[in-house]
Amino acid sequence: MIFEVQKDSILVSPSDETVKDFDEFYKVKLPPKYVEFLKKYNGAIPVTNIFSTSKKDYLIERFLCLLSKEDRDRLPDVSWSEIGVVLTELDERLVDDENLIGMNIIPIAMLFAGDFICLDYRENKEVPNVCVWFHDESDEFMPVVEKISSNFVDFLNNLHV
What pLDDT, on a 0 to 100 scale, did the predictor assign at position 2? 73
**94-116: per-residue pLDDT in tens?**
999 999 989 999 999 999 889 99
| DSSP per residue, 11-68 | -PPPPHHHHHHHHHHHT----HHHHHHHHHHTT--BSS-EEE-SS-EEEEEEE-B---
pTM for this one? 0.95
**Domains annotated on the chain, with CATH:** 7-157 (3.40.1580.10)
What pLDDT is attached to residue 161?
87
- Tell me the pLDDT band of 147, cut-offs 50, 70 and 90: very high
pLDDT digits (tens, 9 = 90+) for 36-85: 999 999 999 999 999 988 788 999 999 999 999 999 888 888 888 999 99
